[in-house]
Structure 1
Amino acid sequence: MSWLKRVEETVTGLGYEVVDCERSAQGLLRVYIDRLPEGVYDQPGEFVTVEDCEKVTRQLQYTLEVANVDYARLEVSSPGLDRPLKTPEQYARFAGQEVEITLKLAFQGRKKYKGVLESVPAPEGVEGAEPSWQLVYKVGEGKKAVEQALGFTFDEVREACLVPVVDFKGRGRRPAAGDDQAAVDEAQELGDQNK
């Protein structure tokens, strides 16, 4: 069994998701983990905590030692606010959120797009159709801005990641899938007026 498979089995066995793994020539093994929405965790909240990283680190150290995996240093951390999206399942999980994608091939002279990720249902009567996605984004400024949608498949994307939402005053939040966008926009405007 490969070292990557052992890492994935260990992390998922603890109830977390492996977002990414990196292994450097200098012996650094870096593992990015995330909490699953349906998971049960020692610490409250939706984000990875230091305690989560410690728990996974301890178990990985044991597993990798037993498997005789050679590494000099192990780092376990959260994927960060700009969490990469690497699988179709992760796309589905974060549908409705603002993401940034880089296409493999340019479309209309550009490869990078930023907007809200949406799932596009497969056409009726087409068996085995690949899931497709669209990115809804605005072109223009202010009241003259126009929404456009860019349709794509998972295979057409080189990189995708969440767009970080940072609010130090705690008034705003990242809209969740299914939220009424008008209500979220209204709450944000009220928060902006009170600043």
Structure 2
Amino acid sequence: MSTDTTLDARRTALIIVDLQNDFLSEGGAYDRGGAASDAARALPPRIAPVARTLKQRGGFIAASQFTLWPDADGEPMISPHLKQLRPFLRRGDFVAGSRGHATVSALEPFIDVSVWKVAYSAFFNTQLDWVLRRARIDTVAICGIVTNGGVASTARDAHMRDYRVLVLGDGCAASTPAAHDTALADLRTIGELTTCEAFADRLAT
């Protein structure tokens, strides 16, 4: 883990993990299923100023979008463990290009590139690494949902690819505070934990 406190905004990317309408918004899949999280819904207004500051300083914003691809009959191809956890998921949820699939409106204007993913990590079977390297990014700040799922997996994959990793602790959420705190403590081994405000302040200076 780097101890350097300096940040070059032009070589830094904010990775926003899965802050999509079907997870967060009224009428989305998780809202319909009673699984929408208040902690997750609080994230976009906290992250938007960070994204704005990074963009103003010449940085890069990437978002991952969890995607359920339809089979030949139009039914979503859902992994068995997810179907067991979220039996309410149905045809039309998280379909690429749909409103539910989209990143929430508070963050969408800042995004330079979105990648569609089918598993936890934003790097798994996506073009994220290819894009970041061509944008000359060497530092990633990760936020989104869930802390012990998509965020943790993305952070570890970034670390394995030799990016400098920061995790915005108050820019993430999990199903419980305990799960969130445990995941953040574990991520200290591969990156720097910081807050949205502290990260934005470092970019501004």
Which structure has the larger Rg? 1
User: Which structure has the highest helix share of the two?
Assistant: 2
| TM-score, length of structure 2 as denominator length | 0.23
Answer 1 or 2: higher relative contact order, Cα 8 Å, separation at least 6. 2
| TM-score, length of structure 1 as denominator length | 0.24
